[in-house]
Amino acid sequence: MSNHNHISGSRDSFPPNAVQRPAIVLTPVDRDAVLKLLRELSEPATFLREELERADIASGDISPNALVSIGSTVKFIDHSTMNIKIAKLVLPCDANGTDLISITGALGSALIGLGPGQTITWYEDQIERRTTVLETNRTP
C-alpha cells in the first residue's frame, strides 16, 4: 500500500488540489537536530519546517530499518526516471548532491520520517516529483 500525496518545497506553494501527506515519524534525536539546524539556517527551509511540525515523535527505540532518519542509507524509486537510487540522508555540511543528500533539500525533506513502502509526491522548482522508499538502514 502506498500513499500518493502532494507536498511543497520552500520555493513552491501548495497546489490547490493538495491532499493529505503520508504519516511520518522522527526520532527525538532527529527532531532536536532539525530544530537546531532550522535556527541556524540563513534561508528559510519551509518544507523541512512543515515536515517537522507534522511529524509524530517516537517515544522509544526505533528499528534502524523502520524509518528514514539523519544518517540513514535509503533505497528509493525516483518515479520521474523510474530509477532505483541509494543515498544517505545527511546534514547540509556533509552533502554532495549525489549520494549524500541534505536534509534541507527538497528530496531530503521529502524522505525524512518515511518508512519502507511509503510514497510521497513533492515539488522541486515547481516540478512534481514522486518518490517511494524501498528500504532504509542506519548503522550506529
- 95 in a domain, yes or no? yes
Which residues are registered as beta bridge partners of 9? none
1 assigned to some structural domain: no
Domain presence at residue 74: yes
Q: What is the pLDDT of residue 20?
A: 64
CATH number of the domain at 77, please.
3.10.50.30
**Mean pLDDT, residues 101-121 taken together:** 94
Using CA atoms, how far residue 101 sits from 20, 90, 110, 131, in Å, is: 25, 6, 11, 14
Does a structural domain hold residue 43? yes
Give the count of domains, the chain: 1
Q: How confident is the model at residue 62, as a pLDDT?
A: 82
Alpha helices in the chain (DSSP H): 28-40, 46-54, 106-111
Assess whether pLDDT exceeds 60 at residue 5.
Answer: no
Confidence at 18, pLDDT banded by 50, 70, 90: low
Does the pLDDT at position 86 exceed 90?
yes
**Residue at 80 is within a domain:** yes
pLDDT band at residue 64 under the 50/70/90 scheme: confident
Paired sense of beta strands 100-102 and 83-90, if any: parallel
Q: Rounded to two decimals, what is the model's pTM?
A: 0.80
Residue 22 covered by a domain: yes
Print the domain residue range for 32.
6-137
